[in-house]
């Protein structure tokens, strides 16, 4: 079942070789390999083999909003996007702030069997920022939680943030911060600038993100812990992160595909499909984010895949929930915004979308290039193909993609989770 | 002709001028008539969809539609706010099924009229959407200025007050620029949006210095509640720095006009003696509102259907 001979793939964009997989584990990488016993043969001529992608920031909506997404539907979207592992954010209903909820999500992911679903635990009870959740219980649970985040909300209280950073040192945890000073973003609807002033939509100033990132980097250095900054969206944030890293502090950061591609001008349509938190920003920010990602100041690309039902998007801008789909478009957008302009090669893509996120999340079997003895978590990309986004054809239960009718480079042809094909010929296998 | 009137930016100079000229002609056509009604929109249905209390704007639109012999349906949706009750989209479909030829919408959310225009076949007139725009207010202001001052081109207009939260200011800046006026915005820096520097208007924090170089001064309402959110320290300080009192009114050229879109907060942004003075056009503004709304309905609805 989980034995394959993948022929003539370009290994992470480099040499062409065959990959032999037996019982879910890579046994050999080389030319002219013979198929292991009972193995299926897949001709990967012209395709690039990458370690399976790992998403540090996915909203799967289950439990609580199964009308918008389930662990299974989100897992399917992830596999189709080339992912073999996703980290499920804690802002479900009930909130993933106990061992019970994180274990539920973890089991749902295992049952779906399309990607490894690694739950993220809430930092504070109910994401309210008041009382620390039982982080240790979640760490010790079957879900083995290592990333904690109140994403959707900022851990705004500096004392709470300090305590959380300190507390997770006991089990090598990391706090993933949604950096947004709430006092500066009350009622905020979009990036504060030229377009917000014209559109009469309350502004979300860049400084509300940057001030929290600066504070949290200082706290992280002070207590010697690990900070991961979610969805960095401004040029100023990149500068602060560069400075924090120069101090040797253990700070990592992610950028979302939409922040690499789309600007706040999108809001002029008043179509809430373009509403996201943090908001779409300016060309200057896009340029700085791309440069920061190329340089490594921003470590990873994470989707912030945020499905929303139509009633939460087919409405007035201010009434709409923030967020957009991302799992099936992320790789293509990285190719368009980073690979095509020459900012990243395929090794760079593997680093920022697979290896580095796997290490941040502590997912041992993921983020490893195909080599003997390594779990066969990988994806095959056709770099020469292109595709047009049709919302109704996406695997998510929701339709809130800002990329409808846009054409992107690169398609995912196949994805393997421990040797099992979750995607073949661009189609989900379950 | 344009199909919807969502923003003052929808109007180019020719269209805006046509609209003001039409308002004037309609005014003349009604003058001296015993029955103040024209048969132009007989058999057409105009829906007033109001999500906010605004008696003056609703009555103005209702009067305008009735004077053109349209059937008027008032659909008060206040209370069914953006977060509860029937969604705007479902309401749009209801109006669509009723066969509304035009929908006049007032809504607390910026962009609500844009959304509605995507969901109905009829014309949509924005009667104020959140802190975004209020284009018929700008039209009636421009009409009033043109009637009183005889021109708009080169007219020096100063708009004073809570620009940040003002849909009137946004529409006026756009329309007045289109019609050739020079606009200056005066406000405490806290009540100007970040990004205002990209607007086609000058900015000043010094009201006294601007007044002698002003042909029209338009005072915006300032809500007391802004004080509690630290936009300014107190009503008295606001009044001292940005209110139009008698001393300041005396700094204006003799023929300068004083305007206010209403509702006024007397004693806050404008002194009662100034509001009621001969140079005030505040009452005319209300009367002119009916004429420009008639012109807008007339031009949007009587044009060839489906010309776009």
Identify all chain A residues contacting B109, using CB atoms and an 8 Å cutoff.
Answer: 316-319
pLDDT category of residue A67 using cuts at 50, 70 and 90: very high
Judge whether residue A323 has pLDDT over 60.
yes
Residue B305: per-residue pLDDT: 45
In a domain, A285, yes or no: yes
Mean pLDDT over A295-300 rounds to: 98
The last residue of one of the domains, among A308, A331, A361, is A361
pLDDT of residue B211: 98
Q: H-helix or E-strand containing B49?
A: strand B45-50
**Are A243 and A271 in a shared domain?**
yes
pLDDT at A254 over 90: yes
* Optimal mutation site among B84, B86, B87, B110, interface A, most CBs of chain A within 10 A: B110
Q: Do B130 and A269 count as a contact with CB atoms less than 8 A apart?
A: no
Question: A176 and A64: one domain?
Answer: yes
CB contact under 8 A, A316 and B167: no
A44 and A180 belong to one structural domain: no
Give yes or no: A97 in active site: no
B81 pLDDT more than 80: no
A225 falls within a domain:
yes
Q: Is the pLDDT of residue B153 over 80?
A: yes
Mean model confidence pLDDT for chain B: 92
Number of structural domains found in chain A: 2
Q: Which of A341, A361, A381 is the last residue of a domain?
A: A361
Q: Are residues A105 and A9 in the same domain?
A: no
**Residue B15 to residue A43: CA distance in whole angstroms:** 63
Q: Which three-class secondary structure string do you get for A398-409?
A: CCCCCCCCCEEE
Distance between CA atoms of residues A110 and A116, nearest Å: 7
A413 and A345 within one domain: no
The response to whether B57 counts as a known ligand-binding position is: yes
Structure tokens at A176: 């993933």
Same domain for A24 and A155? no
- pLDDT score of B307 more than 50: no
pLDDT for the residue B304: 45
Give yes or no for a contact between B85 and B79, defined as CB atoms under 8 angstroms apart: yes
CATH number of the CATH domain containing A32: 2.30.40.10
Task: Calculate how close chain B gets to A198, using CA atoms only, in Å.
Answer: 7
Confidence of residue B79 (pLDDT cuts 50, 70, 90): low
Which tens digits make up the pLDDT trace of B252-274? 999 999 999 988 888 889 999 99
Nearest 5 degrees, angle CA A376-CA A380-CA A383?
Answer: 155
Q: Are residues A336 and A396 in the same domain?
A: no
Nearest Cα of chain B lies from the Cα of A354 at a distance, in angstroms, of 39
The two three-digit tokens of residue B41, written as one number: 């929109």
Record: contact B195-A318, CB cut-off 8 A: no
Contact at CB, A200 and B167, closer than 8 angstroms:
yes
Which positions in chain B touch A311 (Cβ < 8 Å)?
87
Tell me if A89 sits within 8 A of A121, measured CB to CB.
no
- Residues 126-145 of chain B whose Cβ lies under 8 A from any Cβ of chain A: 129-133
- Test the B interface: residue of A264, A266, A316 with most B CBs within 10 Å: A316
Residue keyed to tokens 């089990």: A171
Cβ <8 Å between B87 and A270: no
For B172-224, the pLDDT digits (tens) are: 999 999 999 999 999 999 999 999 999 999 999 999 999 999 999 999 999 87
Of A77-86, A160-169, B72-81, B279-288, the poorest mean pLDDT is in B72-81
Chain B residues in contact with A195 by the CB 8 A cut-off are: 195
Whether A147 contacts A87, CB under 8 Å: yes
* Sign of torsion over alpha carbons B8, B14, B15, B17: positive
Domains of chain B: 8-132+286-302 (3.40.50.1370), 135-284 (3.40.50.1370)
Please, are residues B88 and A316 in contact by the beta-carbon 8 Å criterion?
A: yes
Reported ipTM: 0.93
Same domain, A107 and A25: no
Residue A366 resides in a domain: no
- Does residue A268 have a pLDDT over 50? yes
pLDDT of B32 reads 82
**Which amino acids of B are annotated catalytic?**
56-57, 84, 106, 134
Residue span of the structural domain in which A400 resides: 4-48+373-428
A60 has pLDDT over 80: yes
Last residue of one domain, picked from the residues A361, A395, A414: A361
Query: Is A368 contained in some domain?
Result: no
Specify if A114 maps to a domain.
yes
Give the whole-angstrom CA distance, residue A135 versus residue A143. Answer: 12
| Sheet containing strand B156-160, strands side by side | B202-204, B182-186, B156-160, B216-219, B257-259
CB B269 within 8 A of CB B220: yes
CB contact under 8 A, B110 and A197: no
Q: Of the residues A55, A116, A299, A304, which is catalytic?
A: A304
User: What average pLDDT does range A259-264 have in this prediction?
Assistant: 98
- A58 and A33 housed in the same domain: no
Query: Which residue from A324, A325, A336, A302 is spatially nearest to A408, judged by alpha carbons?
Result: A336
Q: How confident is the model at residue B306 (pLDDT cuts 50, 70, 90)?
A: very low
Neighbours of A332 (CB within 10 A): 26
Q: Annotated binding residue at B137?
A: yes
Claim to verify: residue A133 and residue A121 sit in the same structural domain: yes
pLDDT of residue B75: 85
Lowest mean pLDDT among A75-79, A242-246, B164-168, B265-269: B265-269
Q: Do A200 and B129 touch (CB under 8 A)?
A: yes
pLDDT in tens, A214-246: 999 999 999 999 999 999 999 999 999 999 999
In this structure, are A30 and A112 located in the same domain? no
Task: Note the pLDDT tens digit of each residue in A184-223.
Answer: 999 999 999 999 999 999 999 999 999 999 999 999 999 9
Nearest to A270 among B87, B114, B198 (CB): B114
User: B80 falls in which pLDDT band (50, 70, 90)?
Assistant: low
Same domain, A354 and A417: no
Which CATH number fits the domain that encloses residue A261?
Answer: 3.20.20.140
């Amino acid at each position: 079942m989980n034995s394959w001979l993948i022929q003539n793939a370009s290994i992470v964009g480099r040499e062409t070789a065959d990959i032999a997989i037996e019982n879910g584990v890579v046994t050999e990488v080389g030319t002219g390999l013979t198929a292991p016993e009972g193995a299926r043969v897949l001709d990967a001529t012209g395709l690039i083999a990458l370690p399976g992608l790992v998403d540090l920031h996915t909203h799967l909506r289950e439990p609580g909003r199964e009308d918008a997404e389930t662990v299974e539907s989100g897992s399917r979207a992830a596999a189709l996007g080339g992912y073999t592992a996703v980290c499920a954010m804690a802002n479900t209903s009930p909130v993933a702030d106990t061992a019970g909820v994180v274990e539920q999500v973890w089991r749902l992911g295992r049952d779906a069997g399309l990607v490894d679903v690694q739950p993220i635990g809430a930092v504070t009870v109910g994401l309210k920022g008041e009382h620390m959740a039982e982080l240790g219980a979640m760490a010790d649970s079957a879900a083995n939680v290592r990333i904690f985040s109140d994403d959707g909300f900022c851990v705004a209280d500096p004392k709470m943030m300090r305590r959380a950073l300190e507390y997770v040192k006991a089990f090598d945890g990391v706090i993933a911060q949604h950096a947004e000073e709430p006092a500066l973003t009350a009622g905020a609807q979009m990036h504060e600038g030229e377009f917000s002033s014209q559109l009469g939509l309350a502004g979300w100033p860049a400084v509300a993100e940057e001030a929290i990132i600066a504070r949290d980097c200082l706290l992280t250095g002070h207590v010697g812990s690990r900070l991961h900054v979610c969805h960095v969206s401004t040029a100023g944030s990149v500068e602060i992160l560069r400075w924090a890293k120069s101090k040797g502090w253990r700070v990592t950061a992610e950028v979302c595909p939409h922040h690499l591609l789309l600007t706040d001008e999108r809001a002029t349509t008043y179509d809430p499909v373009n509403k996201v938190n943090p908001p779409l920003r300016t060309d200057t920010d896009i340029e700085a984010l791309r440069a920061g990602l190329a340089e490594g100041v921003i470590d990873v690309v994470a989707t912030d895949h945020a499905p929303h039902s139509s009633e939460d998007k087919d409405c007035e801008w201010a009434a709409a929930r923030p967020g957009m789909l991302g799992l099936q478009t992320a790789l293509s957008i990285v190719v368009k915004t980073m690979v095509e302009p020459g900012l990243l090669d395929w090794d760079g893509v593997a680093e920022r979308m697979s290896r580095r996120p796997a290490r941040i999340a502590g997912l041992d079997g993921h983020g490893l290039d195909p080599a003997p003895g390594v779990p066969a978590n990988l994806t095959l990309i056709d770099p020469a193909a292109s595709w047009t986004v049709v919302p109704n054809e996406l695997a998510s239960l929701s339709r809130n993609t800002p990329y409808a009718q846009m054409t992107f480079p690169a398609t995912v042809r196949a994805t393997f989770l421990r040797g099992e094909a979750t995607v073949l010929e661009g189609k989900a296998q379950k | 002709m344009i199909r919807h009137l969502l923003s003052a930016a929808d109007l180019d100079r020719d269209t805006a001028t046509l609209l003001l000229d039409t308002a004037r002609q309609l005014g003349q056509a009604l003058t001296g008539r015993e029955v103040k009604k024209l048969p132009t929109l007989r058999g057409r249905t105009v829906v007033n969809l109001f999500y906010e209390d605004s008696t003056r704007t609703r009555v103005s639109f209702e009067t305008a539609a009735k004077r053109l012999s349209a059937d008027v349906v008032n659909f008060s949706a206040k209370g069914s706010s953006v977060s509860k009750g029937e969604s705007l989209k479902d309401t749009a479909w209801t109006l669509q099924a009723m066969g509304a030829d035009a929908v006049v919408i007032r809504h607390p959310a910026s962009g609500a009229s844009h959304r509605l225009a995507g969901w109905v076949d009829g014309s949509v007139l924005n009667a104020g959407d959140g802190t975004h725009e209020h284009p018929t207010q700008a039209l009636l202001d421009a009409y009033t200025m043109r009637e009183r001052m005889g021109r708009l081109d080169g007219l020096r207009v100063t708009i004073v007050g809570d620009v940040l939260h003002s849909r009137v200011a946004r529409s006026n800046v756009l329309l007045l620029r289109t019609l050739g006026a020079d606009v200056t915005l005066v406000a405490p820096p806290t009540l100007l949006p970040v990004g205002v520097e990209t607007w086609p208007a000058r900015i000043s924090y010094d009201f006294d210095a601007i007044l002698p170089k002003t042909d029209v001064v338009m005072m915006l309402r300032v809500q007391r509640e802004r004080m509690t959110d630290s936009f300014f320290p107190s009503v008295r300080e606001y009044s001292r720095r940005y209110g139009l009192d008698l001393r300041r009114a005396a700094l204006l050229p003799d023929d300068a006009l004083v305007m206010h879109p209403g509702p006024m907060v007397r004693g806050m942004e404008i002194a009662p003696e100034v509001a009621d003075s001969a140079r005030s056009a505040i009452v005319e503004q209300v009367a002119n509102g009916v004429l420009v709304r008639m012109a807008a309905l007339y031009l949007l609805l009587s044009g060839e259907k489906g010309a776009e």
